[in-house]
Amino acid sequence: MSIAQAFAAAAADYEQHAELQLQVATHLLLRVQERLADTPPRRILEVGCGTGMLSRQLLATWPGAELLCCDVAPAMVATCREQLPAASYCVADGEALPCPGPFDLIISSMTVQWFRHPAATLADWRQRLAATGCLAVALPVAGSLASWEKTLHRLNLPCGLQPFPELAALAAGLTGAYSSYDVQAQEKNVLALLRHMRGIGGATPRPGYRPLSAGQLRRAMAACTAGGEPLVWRIGEVIT
Ligand SMILES: C[S@@+](CC[C@H](N)C(=O)[O-])C[C@H]1O[C@@H](n2cnc3c(N)ncnc32)[C@H](O)[C@@H]1O
């Protein structure tokens, strides 16, 4: 199943599992509101809108703005459209956008980590901004779920997580601020975390990964718990 198909399959129940995604989107929007306090955006592009948890907040914040929501998964776009008919929509790959701009704000939350070429894509989005426009991106970055990765490494077992981008490499070449913060996963163990990731459609493993056997998974979970390090998401934000 492709990344797009996995997200499409999760569209109906996505928001039941998406506490972290809501928290990250809300945090990003607050930072963007500060940045754009004097220049409210008139044309906004959101990439990876999902079911619209951020999209709805965007239009509530700037009700007069034109909002174009894009996502690679048609079922995500359909769900978002049902809840927010006032926006415009496009099913498209964020790495090959058919919308030239200029936009006053291009925003994306918890999506860019799925891209093959995240840094080049952000540079491309930057070109689609108006002169005073803002690019705002939040995503899990390198350091996320490190305790699980380290445990697997120690046990010589493969890790299926997609590699998380390095924040500094992502922001290189963009003028603006970048920062990160840690959020402890709410799930009490790796199994519950995997359920969360499946629930949002975000459990597609890295290419070539062969799933652990039940015994390997049990051993790795026990070792991770015994290690005493919590499961933590490192969320990076880039705001130009
Ligand atoms: C974890 S969800 C986040 C959705 C929303 N931004 C939120 O915070 O709830 C990731 C979204 O990115 C979309 N996505 C993944 N790869 C994409 C790509 N290459 N282009 C556009 N959207 C993509 C998925 O379909 C999914 O809707």
- Could you read off the pLDDT of 49-90 as tens digits, one per residue? 999 999 999 999 999 999 999 999 999 999 999 999 999 999
Query: Which atom of ligand 1 is least distant from the CA of 200?
Result: 1
Task: Evaluate whether 221 touches 171 at the Cβ level (below 8 Å).
Answer: no
Ligand 1 in reach of 18 Cβ (< 6 A): yes
Predicted local distance difference test score (pLDDT) of residue 177: 82
Which tokens in the block code for residue 198? 């499946």
> Taking Cα atoms as reference points, which of 83, 111, 110 lies closest to residue 97?
111
Distance separating alpha carbons of residues 82 and 56, to the nearest angstrom: 11
Q: Is the pLDDT of residue 240 over 90?
A: yes
Predicted local distance difference test score (pLDDT) of residue 190: 87
Please give the mean pLDDT across all residues of the chain: 93
Strand ordering across the sheet containing 232-239: 88-91, 66-71, 43-47, 103-109, 129-140, 232-239, 177-184
- The whole-angstrom distance between residue 197's C-alpha and the CA centroid of its chain comes to 12
The predicted model gives 95-105 an average pLDDT of: 94
Out of 14-18, 35-39, 121-125, pick the least confident: 14-18
Q: Which of 13, 27, 29, 71 to mutate to test the pocket of ligand 1 (most atoms within 8 A of CB)?
A: 71
Task: Evaluate whether 139 touches 202 at the Cβ level (below 8 Å).
Answer: no
Distance separating alpha carbons of residues 217 and 157, to the nearest angstrom: 9
More confident residue, 207 or 236: 236
The predicted model gives 43-48 an average pLDDT of: 98
Predicted local distance difference test score (pLDDT) of residue 7: 87
The predicted model gives 204-214 an average pLDDT of: 88
Ligand 1 in reach of 36 Cβ (< 6 A): no
Residues 6+ apart with CB under 8 A from 3: 72, 114, 204
Ligand 1 in reach of 25 Cβ (< 6 A): yes
Q: Is the pLDDT of residue 36 over 90?
A: yes
